[in-house]
Amino acid sequence: MKIQMFWALSIVLLTTNNYAQETDIPSKKEQPLYDLISQYAEARETKDTTLLREILTDDIDQLVSTGEWRRGYESAKKGMLNSSSANPGSRTLTVDQIRFLGNAAALVDTRYEIQNADGTLRKMWSTFIAVYDNNRWKITAIRNMLPSKSS
26 in Cβ contact with 34 (< 8 Å): yes
Residue type, 134: N
pLDDT (average), residues 113-135: 92
Task: Write down all domains in the chain, each with its CATH number in brackets.
Answer: 28-145 (3.10.450.50)
HSE of 82, CA atoms in CB hemisphere, 13 A: 9
In 10 A of CB 108, how many CB atoms?
25
Does the pLDDT at position 27 exceed 80?
Answer: yes
Q: How far apart are CA 103 and CA 24, in angstroms?
A: 22
Of the two residues 87 and 55, the one the predictor is more confident about is 55
How confident is the model at residue 62, as a pLDDT?
96
pTM above 0.85, yes or no: no
